[in-house]
Structure 1
Amino acid sequence: MSLLHIAVLAPFIVALVVMLTYKLIGRVHTGWVILPVPVILFAYFLGLIPTIQGGEQVQAVLEWIPSLGINFTVYLDGLSLIFALLISGIGSLVVLYSIFYMDKKKEAVHRFYVYLLLFMGAMLGVVLSDNLMVLYGFWELTSISSFLLIAFWHHRDRSRYGALKSMLITVFGGLAMFAGFIMLYTMTGTFSVREIVANVGSISGEALFIPAMILILLGAFTKSAQFPFHIWLPDAMEAPTPVSAYLHSATMVKAGIYLVARFSPVFAGQAAWFWIIAITGLTTLIYASIRAIKQTDLKALLAFSTISQLGLIMSLLGLGSAAAYYGGGVDTLLYTKATTAAIFHLINHAIFKGALFMVVGIVDHETGTRDLRKLGGLMSLMPITFTVAVIGAFSMAGLPPFNGFLSKEMFFTAVLQASHMNFWNADTWGVLIPVVAWIASVFTFLYSMILVFRTFTGKFQPEKLEKKPHEAPLGMLIPPVILASLAIVFGLFPNLLSYSLIEPAMAAIHPGLLAGGDRFHVKIEMWHGWTAEIYMTIGIIVLGTVLYKLHGSVSVLNRPLSKRMTLNRLYDGGLRVLERGGKSLTSTYMTGSIRHYVMYIFVFFIAVLGGGLLLIDNIGFDMSAYAPMSFYEAVAILGLVIPVIALPFVRTRLMAIILTGAAGYMVTLFFVLFRAPDLALTQMVVETVSVMLFLLCFYHLPKLKREKVPMSLKWRNLLISVGVGAVVTLIALAASSGRAFESIADYFIKESYNSAGGKNIVNVILVDFRGFDTLLEITVLGIASLGIYALIKVDLGEGILGERDRYEGVYLPNSNDVILRTVSKVVIFIVVTFSWFLFNSGHHEPGGGFVGGLMTSAALVLLSMAFGMDMTRKIVPFEFRKVMATGLLIALLTGIGSFAFGAPFLSHSFGYFNLPLLGETELATAVIFDLGVYLAVVGVTMTIINSIGRDN
């Protein structure tokens, strides 16, 4: 495993450690514990700047599912390096800031930092992944972790609303992006971004190329809050301010920018790419800048300003893509200035907007409000905060000598050049681009001045403040001061970034525009003479100052937009329609009758699979090669058919359970006859545990009442039953009579011992060849058991039962059977011993972790039946949910451990060693995985048993 992989995984590992050990940290603020993580990551990525600047790339591969082309491939070039530095650098400052912002005594700060680390790792995974499937996984993880962060104050309705809105919109875009990725794979046969870029010439004419482009852009636009998908970002401001400073200025909202930049080498040759991105970006820029000047909440103002700035960066990437489509020769280098401006402003925006969010957090923290109508006159009371606010706001407004001025001038240069490009139908249309850019910049200047001067100058109104304002503590001031200092340094010395970061990023975005060995030469200067850009800036300052003076008195400038026709109302109305429609549709079939639900499932089963058998060609039912039925098989079939036929006619639940169990045990006999001892063992134990579950469920049901069933209902049930049986029979016959491929059974027979060191083929398949399937299966079982626990333990008045009440009202069998209890004491010991024998022998003989876990569960069930569940709890003092989690963790870590040896996920190894007393002994890593399966099965089974067995 490379250092680059460790850099991505480190936040997740530390998050896991924090979850498990936060109670041991004691009085130390959790932020101090995790602060070294982003700091070390930032130092690591800083150390890679000379390597990337020299034209090299850092890459490493961990094989995940190589047969499907899904590998954990990390790739660091100039573009991903910028984002990695922003994620780790801004992340370090945000963690330091949050230590003083978040109250350890009043809030569960350990959860806050766990969510923050999850997000940090997910973002690093997005920008460093070369594999589309891995990138998508991290992409959606950013949506989930941001949902948790936005909803951190979950007791607030607006926090939950904002979190849900952000997740719904960004996940919708992520699913669209996923479809686009699948289309790219269909066209290229690879999930590697670099290989797709290399093959772009052969796929640009494919029918799926444009649809893939549009779907990927949907993912980018939703994540980067482009119009009309921007509506989630203002509501996300309900998150704690450190979250807003991190997610909504420097990282998450930039993920869409990254996606567009990363896929520019693939799609920039298409005119549609230029038009969609440029128009969307410019629309977002001017719309959000107008909305920003109408806000009275400081974070809402910053939210719309962020949307506006993201639109600016997106429009620059769109204009820069014109170089690939329309450019050539010298013009090509001129067109790419738009891309240069986009990269530079992306860095600048993260710096000044991060500082401004922290300033707003300080104002809110020290005054108790963010309402501009209540603020004013804070300059003398909070001089350091005011200074940082001036630097950040002036940089955002594009005033010299700050870094925002330079990137804003480059933006003007790009739009002026775009107006003269040769792809406009008429010169008039080209002029619109700089006009729109200039008007939006006027509003940018206006909301920047509102932010600073309405907050820190004017009349001081202490009676409207919840707290007596004063300067923030040093720990809250250091991060914004550092960012403000960078705004000045990069404004005065911009070429510190030009040669080290911007030039390598340009090479990553436009790899095909320069000849081999050449490189982009980026030089940024503060003064270019009396150019059109300077006059545009002067005009912005003059008009912006006039508008600022008129802002309070001219209603058109400060009056909110009409609430009748807004995108938010459209979103809310759409959700209501979906909710009502879903409720109306659901009410037609969710009758509360389990019989109806089973009927729906079976009818769907018959329609889909039965219809498939009719529609698919070349399906045969040849039975000529079948072996003749033996006498024992006929007897077993008779023993199976009798209880099944009798089952519908019995009148007591107990008899129904007995007959069901009898049918299950007859299936076990079939497995014995067909020489499948593993399946026989598993089936027998499953039947035993299932009977216990039935008994526990029926314990809570009212007394069975026989009602007269209409004949039509009986005929319907009969038809469905016959239909299911017929379809299953036909599927079995069709699967057995004709094979499109050679059976894989011979491969497992030959390789189970040679490749996995095991003679028990069934167990080897479960824990080695198909270990990934087994891992997912026990994960699903774990989730199901937790769902059962939650459903049963929910108390409508009080929520989940507390620890003290957990064992009150447990089901205690009314048994005084001395024989049962006496025999159980011996049998339980034998069964547990046998279960451990099955676990240890499973690699070569019948057994394994799954059946061993079921056997142990059966012993615990017997203990509960004989002595009551309260006694089980005393004898086995484990929280079985934790046992289940431990098993899942062991299984997962076993899979991850293969990475340390350069092998694909869940690869296993074995060898023979001379051990004391034991002599030559085989040791296999698959046994460790099997131990995880064993613990997970015990945990899952007993969680369900204990949940159902308690009388609620």
Structure 2
Amino acid sequence: MLQVVCLFIPLIAAIFMPFLFKKIRNIHTGWFVLFVPLFLAIYYATFVPSISKGETAVVQFDWIPSLGISFVSYIDGLSLLFSLLISGIGALVVLYSIFYLNRKKEQLHNFYIYLLIFMSAMLGVVQSDNMITLYLFWELTSISSFLLIGYWYNRDKSRFGALKSMMITVAGGMMMLGGFVLLSLMGGTFSIRSIIEQAPLFATNDTFVIALVLILLGAFTKSAQFPFYIWLPDAMEAPTPVSAYLHSATMVKAGIYLVARFTPVFALSEVWIWLVAGIGLLTLFWGSFFAVKQTDLKGILAFSTVSQLGLIMSLLGVGAIAYHVNDAADTVFKYASFAAIFHLINHATFKGSLFMIAGIVDHETGTRDIRKLGGLMSIMPVSFTVALIGSFSMAGLPPFNGFLSKEMFLTAMLSVTEFDLFNFSTWAPLFPIIAWVASVFTFVYSFYFVFKTFTGKLQENELPTKPHEAPIGMLISPVILASLVVTIFFIPNLVTDTFVKPAVMAIQPFLYSSPEDVHIHVSAWHGFSPELWMTLGIIVVGLLLFVTLSKWQKYYNTLPEQFTLNRLYDFTVNELLGSWMTRFSGLYMTGSIRNYLGYMFTAIPIIVIATLFIKNAFVVSFEGASPIHLYQIILIFVLVIGTITTVYARSRITSIIALGAVGYTVSLFFVIFNAPDLALTQLVIETISVALFLLAFYHLPKFQKVEERTRFKFGRVFISVGVGVMVTLVALSAHSQKLVTSIAEYYKETVYSLAGGGNIVNVILVDYRGFDTLFEIAVLAIAGIAIYGMIKLRMSRKEKNHESK
């Protein structure tokens, strides 16, 4: 039970944030929030001993059993790793935000509400076994991240970045939902575990590849893969704690999690391998290449995050090859999935610390523009040390954890050349080449970030504020993360045995029966291998490019902006969806209720009538119908004549009288059909309506001239005839084909025995439809109160105007 409750603890805590912020003004609200992720991290840490042995923890509650939707909290090696990252990094981010955000100037209750909602959403994503609940949490991450990115809503760039991220990720989420639905149709269940068990049976299904592509669209948009990465740089307008949390350790890793979780389902398809590995490599190169162009510290880190996510994604794609080789557990392909999870942990540590350092530099100097920075090493020595550790780890240098996973990445890319299926023998050499080139640019932007900021000449006159070292409270979190960067390098196997191997087992359940079967030992030295020479080449070429950066960086500006993906997005949103669609909607959004009713009453008959005939649902049968008498035909003529008179009358008094005649004629039909209650109700309503019209006669709008009112309107005739025909056909069809017994028989049998009444109409209204009637009365009461309030407000305004005069 506690396993499920923990998912919602952040949401529950969010409810109390406004009260804490309002009532306790002397203490930063973050101190109260800090206990939430700390508790969660400690709680999830208790699962480590059992999960590291290959066990799982499952708690299930039925939610919508009729649709097969249940709420399942499923913790295995993969979900536990992500849960620890979400809660552990979350605690460090909250601690950092306490010193970063000013409690007197910021609306902290809003910030922490959004952060806690996001935390619950991410935990729900990584622990949901049901695909529908996973989707709900998935979209909740998009909504909460939208609120966090747009936290400083008074800034245009913040609002733009928030909207951009939500539009792209929500669109991808809807595609993912389509993939989930197709999977459920193939497997007959929404359970991910059940889908994985049936995975070998899906490969020949016609919709298998469609589901695969749709789910990847959701993963690629969330994890900022090419070409959907464009939202991530604009999301850097969020406060730095948000960037450190969402865009390095959690939200952008949701797509990674999705690909890892569904690898056992789709790994048998060559489309999966090519898309995941290919798009991942392209994203790795694209992000690393354009990171060097950026001049904003968080912009550099944004593109570096894009490239690192591409690296992890490519490893998951290559790792899927293990499903297509003999003795996969003993081949070199086992390194790929292992390296993906290992680098995911490493990336969270060094990138989280770097984002926090970027925030510290901005906080203590007043700018993130790298062109104005430099010479901060002696002024901010602790920040420089943390930045150096994080940057060197990101560059893949020893003795930092990024070096270990980067070497395994190169090993995995070289291993692709050994695979001979799916045309890999033709294209395989490109994998290590692209990986090496991208790693060179990774080396360059890592050095670019740290040395251009902290070394060189201090430009104090360019800085808005006098630079100084950050307070100790703001340094605690990045120092802890930097310490982990170094520690993991020296004890990598403790980390991999505890966290990585159980996660790899979850990704490749058909290859391993226990985490102990993952026979991989991590070490810094592998001898004089091809990976070593590739690393030396990365360092040499990277240093050369960094030293000559000023010579070639300017060539980035020669790329035409109008051909960029951002320009395509701007055109789509601003021009196509903005200007063009605004003009198009102006053609029918006229502000006239008459026109809107015309649209609806045109579309509804067309759809209903077409459906009746296309589905062969229109059947006419007069069996059991009552005979039509002469007086009924006379009443019909009276009804029609009264209706026409109401429309074409030359005076308002004639229209009112004719309208009353129509109502009274309808009441006569109720009398004929033995419905005295309805007849009495209709008589009362018509009497009141006619009386009200006559009482309000003086205040009614000016009556139109006869010439204006009698003009023939073909469109209105078409609509009225269409609605009449539709109602007639539906009534005849419904009467002619009764597929089930009428509920009227049940009412007849039980109205006296169960409800204790003799009048069937009254009993239905009061007993069988009691709540419906109650709500109708409530609506009328609310409307009456609203009318009374408006009248009273208008009268009070008149009295004030009279007194002022």
Q: Do Structure 1 and Structure 2 share a fold, with TM-score over 0.5? A: yes
1:95 aligns with 2:94: yes
Following superposition, the deviation at residue 151 of structure 1 comes to: 1.5
With 342-351 and 626-635 compared, the bigger mean Cα shift is at: 626-635
Name which of structure 1's ranges 470-479 and 371-380 shifts more when overlaid on structure 2: 470-479
User: Is 1:114 aligned to 2:39, yes or no?
Assistant: no
- 1:279-294 to 2 correspondence within 5 Å? 279-294=278-293
Distance 2:698 2:744 in 1: 44
Q: Give 1:107 deviation, angstroms.
A: 2.5
Partner SS state of residue 562, structure 2: coil
Please identify, of 300-309 and 518-527, the stretch whose mean Cα deviation from structure 2 is larger.
518-527
User: 392, 395, 398: which one pairs with 1:394?
Assistant: 392
Q: Which residue of 2 aligns with 1:431?
A: 429
Q: Does 1:220 align with 2:219?
A: yes
Q: Is the 8 A contact 1:678 1:847 kept in 2?
A: no
Question: Which residue does 2:37 correspond to in 1?
Answer: 38
Q: Within 5 Å, which residues of 2 pair with 1:776-815?
A: none
Q: 1:473-552 maps to which residues of 2 (within 5 A)?
A: 473-514=471-512, 519-552=517-550
Q: Confirm or deny: 8 A CA contact 1:224 1:257 kept in the other structure.
A: yes
Rounded Cα–Cα distance in structure 2 between residues aligned with 1:683 and 1:482: 77
Match in the other structure for 2:8: 9
Structure 2 stretches lacking a partner, 5+ long: 798-805
CA contact (8 A) 1:402 1:488 kept: yes
Match of 1:461 in 2: 459
Shift in alpha-carbon separation, 1:511–1:762, aligned structure 2, 3 A: farther
Partner amino acid, structure 2, of 1:285: L
The answer as to whether partners of 1:668 and 1:680 remain within 8 angstroms in 2 is yes
- Give yes or no for contact 2:366–2:464 (8 Å, CA) kept in 1: yes
Partner of 1:854: 779
* Aligned-residue identity in percent: 53
Aligned equivalent of 1:570, options 568, 571, 575:
568
Between stretches 674-683 and 99-108, larger displacement belongs to 674-683
Mapped contact 2:618–2:729 kept (Cα < 8 A): no
Q: Deviations over 1:135-166 (max 9, x none)?
A: 11121121122112111222222222212221
The residue that corresponds to 1:314 in the other structure is 313
Could you report, residue by residue, the CA deviation over 1:424-456 in whole angstroms, capped at 9, with x for unpaired residues? 747563222112111111111111011111101
Q: Distance in 2 between matches of 1:536 and 1:86?
A: 31
In 2, Cα distance between equivalents of 1:251 and 1:516: 27
CA distance in structure 1 between the partners assigned to 2:498 and 2:753 by the alignment: 52
Pair 1:597–1:513, CA change in 2 (3 A) = same
Cα deviation, residue 130, structure 1: 1.3
2:377 alignment partner AA: M
Q: Give how far 1:329 is off.
A: 0.9
Report the TM-score, using the length of structure 2 for normalisation: 0.88
Q: Between Structure 1 and Structure 2, whose CA radius of gyration is higher?
A: 2
Residue identity in the other structure for 1:476: M
Task: Report the Cα distance in structure 1 between the residues aligned to 2:525 and 2:677, rounded to whole angstroms.
Answer: 80
2:110 and 2:184 map into 1 onto residues whose CA distance is 38
**Corresponding residue of 1:211:** 210
RMSD value, Cα:
4.3
Alpha-carbon separation, structure 2, partners of 1:509 and 1:646:
76
1:360 to 344, 358, 361: 358
- Contact 1:59/1:76 (<8 A) preserved: yes
Structure 1 segment 367-386 matched on structure 2, within 5 A: 367-386=365-384
Deviations 1:756-781 (Å, cap 9, x if unpaired)?
xxxx999999xxxxxxxxxxxxxxxx
Contact 2:222 2:251 in 1 (8 A): yes
Q: Does 1:603 align with 2:528?
A: no
> CA offset at residue 278 of structure 1?
0.8
Structure 2 CA distance for partners of 1:651 and 1:353, relative to 1, 3 Å: farther
**CA-CA distance at 1:219 after TM superposition:** 1.0
Cα distance in 1 for partners of 2:379, 2:670 equals 82
Unpaired segments of 5 or more residues in structure 1?
766-839, 873-952
**CA offset at residue 23 of structure 1?**
2.9
* Separation in structure 2 between the aligned mates of residue 752 and residue 92 of structure 1, nearest angstrom: 62
Offset at residue 730 of structure 1 (A): 1.4
Residue by residue over 1:362-395, the C-alpha shift from the partner in whole angstroms, topping out at 9 and shown as x without a partner, is 1011111111110001111111111111111111
C-alpha separation in 2, matches of 1:138 and 1:167: 14
1:268 matched to 2:267? The reply is yes
Question: Is the Cα contact below 8 Å between 2:436 and 2:534 reproduced in 1?
Answer: yes
Give the drift of 1:283. 0.7
Partner of 2:441: 443
- Kindly tell me the number of residue pairs found equivalent between the two proteins: 793
Letter in 1 for 2:609: G
Deviation at 1:37, TM superposition (A): 1.5
Partners of 1:396 and 1:762 in 2: CA distance = 76
Distance 1:287 1:373 in 2: 23
Task: Give the match for residue 728 of structure 2.
Answer: 729
| Alpha-carbon shift at residue 313 of structure 1 (Å) | 0.2
Letter in 1 for 2:151: F
Tell me how far 1:105 sits from its aligned partner: 2.4
| Code of the aligned partner of 2:290 | R
Alpha-carbon offset, residue 711 of structure 1: 6.0
How much has 1:717 moved relative to structure 2? 1.3
| Paired amino acid for 2:198 | N
Hey, what's the Cα distance between the residues in 2 that align with 1:175 and 1:698?
54
Q: Which amino acid aligns with 2:307?
A: S
Distance 2:50 2:681 in 1: 56
Q: What SS class does the counterpart of residue 400 from structure 1 fall into?
A: coil
Contact 1:424 1:430 in 2 (8 A): no
**How far does residue 243 in structure 1 lie from its aligned partner after superposition?**
1.1
The verdict on how the C-alpha distance between 1:177 and 1:719 changes in structure 2, with shifts beyond 3 A counting, is same
d(CA) in 2 for partners of 1:565, 1:91: 38
Q: 1:518 to 1:391 in 2, by over 3 A?
A: closer
CA-CA distance at 1:672 after TM superposition: 12
Q: Distance in 2 between matches of 1:764 and 1:436?
A: 77
Once the two structures are TM-superposed, the CA of residue 231 in structure 1 deviates from its matched residue by 1.1
Q: Conserved in 1, the CA contact under 8 Å of 2:288 and 2:438?
A: yes
Residue type of the partner of 1:716? G
Write out aligned runs for 1:12-411 (5 A).
12-19=11-18, 22-324=21-323, 326-329=324-327, 333-411=331-409
Contact 1:551 1:557 in 2 (8 A): no
Q: 1:690 to 1:196 in 2, by over 3 A?
A: farther
Give how far 1:225 is off.
0.8
Contact between 2:54 and 2:515, CA under 8 Å: does it hold in 1? no
What is the aligned partner in structure 2 of residue 787 from structure 1? none
Q: Is the Cα–Cα contact under 8 Å of residues 842 and 848 in structure 1 kept in the other structure?
A: no
CA apart distance, 1:256: 0.8
CA shift, 1:224, in A, is 0.8
In the alignment, does 2:422 pair up with 1:416? Answer: no
Q: Residues 719 and 167 (structure 1 numbering): CA distance in 2 closer, same or farther, change over 3 Å?
A: same
1:570-614 Cα deviation digits (max 9, x unpaired): 222223133333233223333343322221221111211111122
Deviation at 1:208, TM superposition (A): 0.3
Contact 1:677–1:846 (CA under 8 A) maintained in structure 2: no
